[in-house]
Amino acid sequence: MQHALNAALSIKLKDNRQLGFAEYGDPHGKPILFFHGLAGSRLDARLLHKIAITNYCRLISIDRPGMGLSSFDKKRTILSWADDVAAFADHFNLPKFAIIGHSGGAPFVAACLYKIPERLTGAAIVSGMGPFELPAATASLTRRQRFLNSAIRKLPWISTCCMKLTRWMFKSPNMLKQGLKQMAQVDSHILQQSEENIEMLGSTMMETFRQGVAGVAQEMQLTLKPWGFNLGDIKATCPITIWHGGLDKQAPIIHAELYADLLPNAKLTFFKQEGHLSLLVNKGEEILRTVVGPG
């Protein structure tokens, strides 16, 4: 397991909210902001610590509101994340930076591409979840996923129940191991290579629920609603790369194709034998190099 330079840092925003973050890689390297999945936390990015060092990248992973060390924000939207990111970058005097979003972090990459494109040097969406208001994105889900998403839209409190169940599962090592069986084999293999990897997943996920389930449940509701902008309205000029695995059980390939079709300057890279998590681990070096560019 690779460790952060410091995994428990935070800054205070103008409205007195805290934003928690962890730093990985080379502290003097090219800046990349990492947006974790749903559910997830700033600790997700520790998988990329070693390759961030060897590729001279300063990888900063930020907890979203209500998760990890970041304050809950009852007024938050998908687009308000771009404001938080801009304020975070200003705090560290980062006029320009790259961004990577994994899984449920994808909508927040899109939000930054829409609202602060002038700050971005590159963007990557990895195993990303697309906007469910697009019929193709919803149609590609399993029947169970469609039913659950529909139920949450009609009865938002269901998301709280789902997150309580998720938290309970990750508290129990035995339940966690059972959950691994539901993943693509290539993903579960990575985690089952050692007990340490399983413990890492458990601790990362439990950090998500440090403050309870409200922040995660809120975000689940937000991602299922219209995001407040259309992907086709994004005018960013930085390189955008979309990465997806053919064995991904969480995010269907159509979501990646939607991003690639609707975002400007976007390039889709598809790996038939990679899954949801394995793609980030096995192709992480390529992803980092793509967003920071040569040199």
Residue 1 confidence (pLDDT):
42
Residue 167 confidence (pLDDT):
87
Contacts of 77 by beta carbon, 8 Å cutoff, 6+ apart: 222, 228
Residue bearing tokens 């000029």: 237
**What's the Cα-to-Cα distance from 36 to each of 123, 273, 288, rounded to whole Å?**
14, 23, 15
Predicted TM-score (pTM) of the model is 0.94
Residue 8 confidence (pLDDT):
79
**What's the Cα-to-Cα distance from 7 to each of 10, 83, 209, rounded to whole Å?**
10, 23, 16
Quote the DSSP letter at residue 58. Answer: E
Q: What is the mean pLDDT of each run of 10 residues along the chain (295 residues)?
A: 67 96 95 95 92 95 97 97 98 97 97 98 97 92 91 93 87 67 80 70 85 96 96 96 94 96 96 94 94 74
Q: In the chain, what is the greatest distance between 2 CA atoms, to the nearest angstrom?
A: 50
Q: Could you list the beta-strand ranges (E) of the chain.
A: 6-12, 18-25, 30-35, 57-62, 97-102, 120-126, 240-245, 266-271
